[in-house]
């Protein structure tokens, strides 16, 4: 079945898809190279990939296999040098910078290994940031932020700054922040990487439970095999390439 | 992103580096203060000069000066003579209301004494019959001083000092007898008389002459009138008839000027309105007389003061621009230190414009805060300087006529100009750091420490 993919900036491309199921994320022959000094490092080397809407997919692989880069490319943090990436109606690989920012702001939620909270803001203010960037009304965004903090079990810590929170608490705040704009796609890069196993398990539970509840498509880069077991699909990368991995039934 | 959010984020970021903020703002404060003080210097000069002009006479007055005092037969003595025919010619010019001939003794040449009180003031000799037609009005008594009489300006009584050089309580002089005292430092009875500046008299004794005892010439006068306040130099003038002044000049110089042949020292010409000053002045110049008016001098002064003000403001502006370098450095440091935060914001969907505006808001904040504090400090400094100067002048016996005046005056346009200039300098300084921050690569920024 052919699917016509439209870029919000205009123009259209046709992609042949071998599956009859509508795919949310489509990557076609994506390449991305870093320069490290005089050496070129192929972080992503010719990846073709489709991910269904609403699925929880894990990216597994050793360090340097290209997991984070792939997430960044799909999330619009980096732009691939070759190939096409489309996410739903967004032709991510071709979006101009302002549209790319809008895509990240309204469509994608990020959870990072290092939490990446803004140190001068409190927990509730950190959660609010995506809505601040969209110009949402202060009262409404504060109410939503508090509700999300309550959902992640941190209502009592709303007024604390990141340096006053534990690692697990900071990641909970980051999860709440990732969800406040009601994204259709959630990208998590090693969300439990800086946490102990117990805390990590709690975060995984929170992340997957909340996203499944909301019908989010989730893409998680992780070393955590326990997390991978709970995903709908596992993809393994090595040296920037996808290894053949059967999808979970 | 809402304006209030920009402000909130600006405040949060600035609060994190308070010492750095303080030092950066201090540089802007110094620049702004300097602009305020320098323009106040210019403003004070302009205001005082304009007040001097206005106090010399009303804006609808013209002063015609002549060749009074030149010996008969001297070169140029025939031209510019302000005698009766000149007075008639000028009075006939359309728009002229009245003409008042006068001979004025320079300030400091004579003193007025009453009991043990002394005042320094201007003494003008005028034809008594011309003072009322010219518009002199008395608050008490007459406006026409006859022989042995004097009419005092409204503020003369305030000019008296006692024997200890302390300002005296203004005495009620109406009807009283005061003494006009002139001093000269001659070489004895046979020595040459002293100069009366501006009256073409013989020069002072040469260098090396033995110091001589001062000689006093005293003229008792009855105060027959006190004029109504005019707000001009006339308030600190004593008006006597012409002969009294000529007598003093004869005693001083050994020669008695004759208005009939050498005319008067000056003519005061009053026009019907300020609009007629310029055409009347031109008509007087066409009669080959030198005429000046406070109005034309005021125009010239204003033109010159614009240049002076601009120069002085430019000096302060240089300091303000230099402070912009501090702002630029601070913003560059901030962009460097907050690389990761910028990456986070961009990853969450902040546009390049939003990042740039965050930095420009910070730069604006620094500029505006510096401008406001600088304005306050500049105002305070001008007040302190004025207070010191006024305190000094108030106790000075030799002060010129009129109340002591502040030396610094801040023109009304300065506060707004300082705020705008400081803001522009800060924004210009913050532009490069803002653009640099907005264009950071997100992935690299997230990896930064």
Does B131 share its domain with B220? yes
> Residue for token digits 């300084």?
B429
Contact: B5, A132; criterion CB under 8 Å: yes
Look up residue B347 and give its two tokens: 């990853």
Does B73 share its domain with B219? yes
pLDDT at B194: 52
Distance CA B278, CA B299 (A): 11
Residue A241: burial class (beta carbons within 10 Å; 0-12, 13-18, 19+): middle
Q: Per-residue pLDDT for B203 more than 50? A: no
In sequence order, which residues have a C-beta less than 8 Å from that of residue A143 and are 6 or more positions away? none
Distance CA A230, CA A227 (A): 5
In sequence order, which residues have a C-beta less than 8 Å from that of residue A224 and are 6 or more positions away? A192, A200, A204
Distance CA B445, CA B186 (A): 91
**A177 CB near a chain B CB, below 8 Å?**
yes
Give one word for A34, left, alpha or beta, with left for phi > 0 and alpha for psi -120 to 50.
Answer: beta
Please state the rounded mean pLDDT for residues A185-199.
87
Does B255 share its domain with B313? no
Does B246 share its domain with B315? no
Does B141 share its domain with B287? yes
Among candidates A104, A114, A118 on the partner chain, residue whose Cβ is nearest the Cβ of B349: A104
Does B78 share its domain with B41? no
Least confident residue range of A175-179, B161-165, B182-186, B350-354: B182-186
Among B269, B292, B315, where does a domain finish? B292
Q: Per-residue pLDDT for A245 more than 80? A: no
Among candidates B5, B15, B347 on the partner chain, residue whose Cβ is nearest the Cβ of A110: B347
Task: Name beta bridge partners: B106.
Answer: none
Within 13 Å, how many C-alpha atoms sit on residue A76's CB side?
A: 31
Residue-wise DSSP of A127-188: HHHHHHHHT--HHHHHHHHHHHHHHTT-GGGTT--GGGS-HHHHHHHHHHHHHTT--SEEEE
Contact: A133, B1; criterion CB under 8 Å: yes
Contact: A130, B16; criterion CB under 8 Å: no
In sequence order, which residues have a C-beta less than 8 Å from that of residue B430 and are 6 or more positions away? B327, B328, B331, B359, B360, B362, B363, B364
Does B208 share its domain with B70? yes
- Average pLDDT taken over every residue of chain B: 85
Among B232, B257, B292, where does a domain finish? B292
Q: Does residue B160 contact residue B170 with C-beta atoms inside 8 Å?
A: yes
B358 to chain A: nearest residue by CA? A133
pLDDT at B402: 55
What confidence category does residue B143 fall into, taking pLDDT thresholds of 50, 70 and 90?
Answer: very high
Does B269 share its domain with B377? no
Does B405 share its domain with B331? yes
Q: Per-residue pLDDT for A247 more than 60? A: no
Query: Percent of chain B scored above 90 by pLDDT?
Result: 51
pLDDT at B51: 78
**A99 CB near a chain B CB, below 8 Å?**
no
Chain A residues with CB under 8 Å of B13 CB are 120
Between the two ends of chain A, the Cα-to-Cα distance in Å is: 23
pLDDT at B404: 61
Please state the rounded mean pLDDT for residues B132-145.
91
Angle at A218 between CA A217 and CA A222, to 5 degrees: 165
Closest CA to A55 of A235, A236, A222: A235
Helix ranges (H only) for A10-66 are none
Handedness of CA B28, B30, B36, B39 (dihedral sign): negative
Closest CA to B223 of B159, B161, B134, B157: B157
Q: Per-residue pLDDT for B14 more than 50? A: yes
Number of separate domains in chain B: 2
Does B263 share its domain with B409? no
What confidence category does residue A19 fall into, taking pLDDT thresholds of 50, 70 and 90?
Answer: very low
Look up residue B75 and give its two tokens: 């070169």
What confidence category does residue B75 fall into, taking pLDDT thresholds of 50, 70 and 90?
Answer: very low
Which one of A118, A124, A174, A187 would you mutate to disrupt binding with B, by most B Cβ within 10 Å of its Cβ? A118
* pLDDT tens by residue, B36-64: 999 998 888 888 887 777 766 678 889 99
Please state the rounded mean pLDDT for residues B93-115.
91
Between the two ends of chain B, the Cα-to-Cα distance in Å is: 27
Domain of B318 in residue numbering reads as 3-53+300-447
Within 13 Å, how many C-alpha atoms sit on residue A91's CB side?
A: 17
Closest CA to B23 of B334, B377, B366, B368: B366
What confidence category does residue B188 fall into, taking pLDDT thresholds of 50, 70 and 90?
Answer: very low
Chain A residues with CB under 8 Å of B442 CB are 72, 77-78
Distance CA B73, CA B69 (A): 11
Q: Per-residue pLDDT for B69 more than 70? A: no
Contact: B446, A134; criterion CB under 8 Å: no
Handedness of CA B275, B280, B281, B282 (dihedral sign): positive
> Residue for token digits 């005292």?
B181
What confidence category does residue A20 fall into, taking pLDDT thresholds of 50, 70 and 90?
Answer: very low
* pLDDT tens by residue, B383-402: 999 998 888 876 664 555 55
Chain B residues with CB under 8 Å of A105 CB are 348-350
For the question of an ipTM over 0.95, the answer is no
* pLDDT tens by residue, A102-124: 999 999 999 998 999 999 999 99
Does B134 share its domain with B261? yes
Among B292, B324, B340, where does a domain finish? B292
Among candidates A75, A101, A114 on the partner chain, residue whose Cβ is nearest the Cβ of B350: A101
Q: Per-residue pLDDT for A215 more than 80? A: yes
In sequence order, which residues have a C-beta less than 8 Å from that of residue A162 and are 6 or more positions away? A115, A117, A118, A119, A121, A123, A126, A170, A173
Distance from CA of B420 to the nearest CA of A (A): 28
Q: Per-residue pLDDT for A139 more than 90? A: yes
Among candidates B13, B16, B348 on the partner chain, residue whose Cβ is nearest the Cβ of A133: B348
Contact: B344, A119; criterion CB under 8 Å: no
Contact: B340, A116; criterion CB under 8 Å: yes
Contact: B341, A119; criterion CB under 8 Å: yes
Does B91 share its domain with B197? yes
pLDDT at B45: 86
Contact: B348, A129; criterion CB under 8 Å: yes
């Amino acid at each position: 079945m052919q699917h016509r993919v439209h870029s919000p900036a205009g123009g259209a491309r046709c992609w042949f898809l071998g599956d009859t199921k509508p795919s949310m994320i489509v990557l076609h022959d994506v390449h991305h190279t870093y320069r490290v000094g005089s050496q070129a490092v192929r972080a992503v080397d010719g990846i073709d990939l489709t991910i269904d809407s609403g699925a929880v997919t894990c990216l597994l692989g050793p360090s340097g296999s290209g997991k984070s880069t792939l997430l960044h490319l799909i999330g619009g943090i980096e732009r691939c040098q070759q190939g096409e990436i489309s996410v739903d109606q967004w032709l991510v690989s071709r979006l101009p910078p302002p549209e790319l920012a809008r895509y990240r702001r309204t469509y994608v939620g990020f959870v990072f290994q290092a939490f990446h909270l803004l140190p001068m803001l409190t927990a509730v203010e950190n959660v609010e940031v995506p809505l601040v960037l969209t110009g949402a009304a202060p009262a409404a965004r504060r109410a939503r932020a508090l509700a999300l903090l309550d959902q992640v079990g941190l209502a009592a810590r709303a007024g604390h700054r990141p340096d006053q929170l534990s690692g697990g608490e900071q990641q909970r705040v980051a999860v709440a922040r990732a969800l406040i704009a009601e994204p259709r796609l959630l990208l998590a890069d090693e969300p439990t990487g800086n946490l102990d196993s117990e805390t990590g398990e709690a975060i995984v539970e929170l992340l997957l439970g909340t996203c499944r509840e909301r019908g989010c498509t989730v893409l998680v880069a992780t070393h955590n095999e326990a997390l991978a077991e709970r995903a709908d699909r596992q993809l393994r990368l090595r040296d920037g390439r996808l290894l053949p991995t059967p999808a979970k039934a | 992103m809402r304006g209030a959010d920009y402000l909130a984020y600006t405040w949060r970021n600035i609060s994190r580096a308070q010492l750095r903020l303080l030092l950066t703002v201090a540089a802007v404060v110094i620049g702004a203060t300097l602009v305020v003080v320098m323009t106040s210097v210019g403003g004070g000069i302009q205001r005082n000069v304009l007040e001097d002009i206005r106090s010399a006479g009303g804006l609808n007055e013209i002063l015609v000066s002549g060749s009074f005092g030149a010996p008969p037969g001297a070169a140029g003595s025939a031209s510019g003579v302000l005698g009766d025919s000149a007075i008639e010619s000028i009075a006939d010019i359309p728009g002229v209301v009245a003409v008042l001939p006068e001979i004025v003794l320079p300030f400091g040449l004579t003193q007025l004494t009453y009991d043990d009180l002394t005042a320094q003031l201007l003494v003008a000799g005028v034809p008594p019959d011309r003072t009322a037609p010219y518009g002199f009005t008395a608050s008490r008594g007459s406006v026409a001083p006859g022989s042995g009489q004097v009419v005092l300006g409204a503020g003369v009584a305030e000019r008296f000092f006692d024997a200890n050089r302390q300002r005296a309580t203004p005495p009620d002089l109406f009807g009283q007898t005061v003494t006009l005292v002139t001093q000269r430092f001659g070489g004895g009875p046979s020595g040459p008389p002293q100069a009366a500046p501006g009256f073409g008299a013989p020069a002072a004794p040469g260098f090396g002459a033995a110091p001589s005892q001062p000689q006093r010439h005293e003229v008792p006068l009855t105060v027959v009138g006190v004029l109504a306040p005019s707000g001009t130099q006339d308030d600190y003038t004593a008006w006597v008839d012409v002969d009294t002044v000529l007598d003093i000049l004869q005693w001083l110089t050994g020669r008695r000027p004759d208005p009939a042949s050498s005319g008067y020292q000056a003519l005061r010409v009053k026009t019907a309105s300020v609009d007629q000053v310029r055409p009347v002045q031109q008509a007087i110049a066409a009669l080959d007389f030198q005429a000046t008016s406070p109005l034309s001098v005021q125009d010239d002064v204003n033109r010159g003061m614009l240049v002076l003000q601009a120069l002085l403001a430019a000096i302060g502006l240089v300091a303000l621009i230099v402070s912009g370098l501090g702002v630029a450095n601070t913003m560059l440091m901030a962009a460097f230190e907050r690389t990761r935060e910028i990456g986070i914001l961009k990853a969450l969907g902040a546009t390049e414009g939003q990042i740039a505006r965050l930095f420009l808001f910070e730069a604006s904040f620094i500029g505006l805060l510096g401008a406001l504090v600088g304005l306050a400090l500049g105002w305070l400094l001008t007040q302190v300087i004025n207070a010191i100067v006024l305190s000094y002048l108030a106790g000075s016996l030799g002060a010129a006529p009129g109340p002591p005046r502040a030396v610094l005056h801040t023109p009304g346009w300065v506060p707004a100009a300082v705020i705008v200039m400081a803001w522009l300098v800060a924004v210009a300084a913050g532009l490069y750091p803002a653009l640099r921050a907005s264009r950071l690569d997100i992935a690299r920024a997230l990896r930064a420490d």
